[in-house]
Each structure stands twice: as C-alpha cells, then as structure tokens.
Amino acid sequence: MTLLRAEGLSKSFGKTQALDGAGISIRAGEVVAVMGPSGSGKSTLLHCIAGILPPDSGTVHYRDQDLTAMNDSTRSELRRTEFGFVFQFGQLVPELTCLENVALPLRLSGMKRKDAERAATDWLARLEVEDVAGQRPGETSGGQGQRVAVARALVTAPKVIFADEPTGALDSLNGERVMHLLTTAARETGAAVVLVTHEARVAAYSDREVVVRDGRSRDVEFAR
Amino acid sequence: MNTPGVYMMCIVAPMSIGHALLGLLEGGPRHGYDLKRAYDERFGQDRPLHYGQVYSTLSRLLKNGFVTDAGVEAGDGPERKRYAITDAGVTDVERWLSTPEKPEPYLQNTLYAKVVLALLSGRSAADVLDTQRSAHLDTMRELTRRKSDGDLADQLICDFALFHLEADLRWLELTAARIDQLAVEVNR
Ligand SMILES: Nc1ncnc2c1ncn2[C@@H]1O[C@H](COP(=O)(O)OP(=O)(O)OP(=O)(O)O)[C@@H](O)[C@H]1O
Ligand SMILES: [Mg+2]
C-alpha cells in the first residue's frame, strides 16, 4: 500500500533551485534510502514530503490527504501523530532529561506523565540506553544521544519516520548500531523509514534506494 | 554463512589454500577430510574446498617438504592418512603472514572501461554507473542482513566485503560527478 506519494516537487531558495520536479513514493513499512551528492536536494525533498517545508509546486499525498492543501494546524497535527523525526543532531531539548525528552511527544498528545514515562522507559531500553534516562542530552555521548532521539521518534508509534543523516556524526560502529536498532524497531512496529544518507553502508539497511541528483529524483517504484 | 553468490562482488584475491592448510596444521596433525572441514568452517564461506583440491595441495606440500606423513589413523576408510607440519612449513607460514597482499586495483578497470566505452559510443555513462550502484547496494544489503543474523566471525567477514564495496561506490559517485568533464576529454 502506498502511504506517501510526492509528485513534481519544485522548490527554490532565492536563485538556487533545490528541487526541480522531484517525485518519490513510499509504501507502508518499507525502509527507503534517499541518496545523492551533497547539495543535490535530499534534505529539501525530505522536508517537503514531511510537511515541514511547503514546495513551490507539486503535490504530497499522505494516504488520501494532500499535505500541500492543508492548513498549518492540520498539517502539524498530522506530523505529530503520524510522523517521527531523527536528524543528525540538535533535536533533543537540552534542559530536559533523556527520559523527559522521549516522553515529551506523548505528553504533548495529552498522556499522563506516569504513562508517558513508562512508555519512554520501554523505548530507552529497546534502544539500549536505559542507563542515560536521568541524564541531560549534553551529558551523553553522540551515539547515546542518537539512540535517545530514535526512541523519541518511535514512542508515538508513527507510520513514517523521517531520518536525515541520523548517523552523520557517529563513527562506523555506533552508526551501524543505531541503524540496526532503528530499522529493527521500525520493522517491528511496521513504520516506514525515509532515510537520507550519502553513506552506502548506512543505505545498506534499506529495502531500496532513491537517488537525487540536481533536484531530480530517480525512484524506480515511482515509475511503476 | 551459506547464501551463495554474495561474494560475487567481493574483491578478495583467491586465498592461498596451501598456506591456510599449513596454518591449520600448526594446531596438530590431521587427516585430509578433517582439514577440509576445518577450512570450510573457517574460511570456506561460499566456496568450500573440493576434496581434489585438498589432496592435490597436500601432495604438493609433501613434495616441497612443508608437511610430512604422520601415520595412518586407526579404523578403516580410504583417507585416514594424517599429515603434520614440518619446520620448513612453519617458516613458510611465517613468511606468508609477514608478506602483505598486493593491493589490487579491483573492479575499477572494468568499470572505467565501461564508462569510457559508453561515452565514446554516445550511450549513457550515468546509466552504467546507476546500474552498478544498484547492484552494489543489493549485495551490500544482503551482507548487512547476514551480518545482523550472524556471529562475530560473520560480522567481520561481511564488514570486510562491505567496506570494499563502499570504496567502489565512492569511486562511482566521484566518477558520476565528473562524467561531463570526462565526456569532453574522451571525445576530444
Ligand atoms: N534554507 C535554505 N536557504 C538557501 N538555500 C538552501 C536552503 N536549504 C537548501 N538550500 C540549497 O538548496 C540546495 C539543496 O540543498 P539540500 O540541503 O536539500 O541538499 P542535500 O542533498 O541535503 O545536501 P547535503 O548532503 O550536503 O546535506 C543546495 O544548493 C542548498 O544550498
Ligand atoms: Mg542534507
């Protein structure tokens, strides 16, 4: 089942055309790597299909809803309930403990503190970082911080996880561990993953790849 | 580890079977079948040894004085002859271990030739590279899956192949980024 489908996306920043008619299609539960050289438009594509950035033209459909036609509050509600995000760094709230960070999305959805923290504790354990629960993000290693970020992305049981270079700041061993944990958890929960990376060994955790070049994407599935 | 074909892209030069068998004999005398089993378990991966290889290698080692006859094991069956490593054999293993393998330019030659020929004939060199990337990534996915299911030995062997395939891919990306420039030079 196609979960997310973007067509004809264009986006310019001033004179720079970041996307030039890009398209992508994501099925439920699949892990798709978005690859391509630096500056080719990978992050811009990810931001557009995740409803973070409005494209200049083109459409983004999530199930039967058109993200580009929604008002802001409907779109951010959809992001909060259906999507999870993992970035290279800087996504955790520095003032909160790791446990509070993971519990935060649930708290924002109105869950009671105790329930939210119990769920957060479970996820920290699944990502093998239960021992940093009481620490603030600044007091963890890069690898631990990314696992906490993955736990936070997964705690709301999203249908799609958007990850932009989630292992970009980690060494090979930690990066691969994060990829293993992320993709294993996603497969267990049935979440799709859109994974932006320029590293082949990271992309090897995907089911297939979409290559972006000069703002255009080459998606074999999309062509079908 | 027994999914065939994964190492098709793998760039490891053929292993020196003689040296590997000698190394295994350093642990004590064994007969040929035993050696084959030990080799397959540790190094065979997709390519278990044929009995013929084992016995022809052993007879060469015998002729060169690197192994010696260590008597016949009790019991019947045709191949109960045991072999032991000699001092000359140990020296040979040491020499092998201390000599680096030749850093081979593996796939580039073929891929480079394909890219140039595509450009010369007005075909799409980018397609050649895209097709290769996709094949490389498929192999890397398979190795990654195998790594997830495997023990530490599997992981190390798969990682070796993965890093080499990754190096190929980096070359591929760099070439893709310079394809227009190359087209001009090739067609000059
Ligand atoms: N907010 C912005 N303002 C101005 N230009 C931008 C902005 N975001 C992206 N760009 C430009 O758009 C193009 C595509 O950028 P994008 O970040 O999508 O590339 P990328 O493929 O993610 O690169 P990288 O691998 O380096 O992260 C680049 O030329 C970039 O400079
Ligand atoms: Mg980017």
Ligand in closest contact with the CA of A22: 1
Give the helix/strand (H/E) hosting B117: helix B108-120
Model confidence at B104, in pLDDT bands (50, 70, 90)? Answer: low
Is residue B131 a contact partner of residue B124, using CB atoms and an 8 Å limit? Answer: no
pLDDT at B14 over 60: no
pLDDT at B121 over 80: no
Domain that residue A210 falls in: 2-220
- Please tell me the residue having the least CA distance from ligand 1 atom 16: A41
Q: What's the mean pLDDT in B172-176?
A: 89
The β-bridge partners of A57 are A10
pLDDT at B78 over 70: no
With a CB cutoff of 8 Å and minimum separation 6, the contacts of A181 are A126, A127, A128, A147, A150
State the complex-level ipTM. 0.86
Q: What's the mean pLDDT in B11-33?
A: 81
pLDDT at B19 over 50: yes
CA distance, residue B148 to nearest chain A CA (Å): 8
Q: Which residues of B touch A38 (CB under 8 A)?
A: none
Contact B166 A201 (CB under 8 A): yes
Distance B106 CA to ligand 2 centre (A): 31
- Please tell me the residue having the least CA distance from ligand 1 atom 14: A41
**Residue A130 to residues A96, A112, A142, A179, B69, Cα–Cα distance (Å):** 15, 20, 15, 18, 59
**Residue A106 to residues A19, A72, A123, Cα–Cα distance (Å):** 34, 21, 12
The C-alpha atoms of residue B175 and residue A84 are separated, in whole angstroms, by 35
Residue B14 one-letter amino acid: P
pLDDT at position B10 is: 43
**CATH number of the structural domain B14-98:** 1.10.10.10
Provide the number of structural domains found in chain A. 1
The C-alpha atoms of residue A2 and residue A4 are separated, in whole angstroms, by 6
Is residue B6 a contact partner of residue B39, using CB atoms and an 8 Å limit? Answer: no
Q: Please state the φ and ψ torsions of residue A85, each to the nearest 5 degrees.
A: -130, 140
The structural domains of chain B, with segments of one domain joined by +, span: 14-98, 100-188
Nearest to B159 by CA among B179, B177, B143: B143
CA distance, residue B172 to nearest chain A CA (Å): 11
Is residue A119 a contact partner of residue A69, using CB atoms and an 8 Å limit? Answer: no
Taking the Cβ of residue B143 and every Cβ of chain A, the question of whether any pair is shorter than 8 Å is answered with yes
Nearest CB to B140 within list A37, A201, A207:
A201
Return the half-sphere exposure (C-beta side, CA atoms, 13 A cut-off) of residue B36: 16
Nearest to B139 by CA among B2, B46, B1, B7: B7
**Residue A148 to residues A128, A196, B171, Cα–Cα distance (Å):** 9, 19, 34
The C-alpha atoms of residue A77 and residue A15 are separated, in whole angstroms, by 32
Per-residue pLDDT of chain A (224 residues; tens, 9 = 90+): 899 999 999 999 999 999 999 999 999 999 999 999 899 999 999 999 999 999 999 999 999 999 999 999 999 999 999 999 998 877 899 999 999 999 999 999 999 999 999 999 999 999 999 999 999 999 999 899 999 999 999 999 999 999 999 998 888 888 999 999 999 999 999 999 999 998 999 999 999 999 999 999 877 666 55
A159 ligand 1 Cβ < 6 A: no
Distance A88 CA to ligand 2 centre (A): 9
The C-alpha atoms of residue B160 and residue A94 are separated, in whole angstroms, by 38
Distance A36 CA to ligand 1 centre (A): 12
Is residue A60 a contact partner of residue A68, using CB atoms and an 8 Å limit? Answer: yes
Sort strands A192-196 and A31-35 into parallel, antiparallel or unpaired: parallel
Nearest to A222 by CA among A38, A68, A45: A45
Is residue A45 a contact partner of residue A22, using CB atoms and an 8 Å limit? Answer: yes
Q: Kindly tell me the sign of the dihedral angle through the C-alpha atoms of B156, B161, B162, B167.
A: positive
- Tens of pLDDT along B23-49? 889 989 999 999 999 888 877 766 788
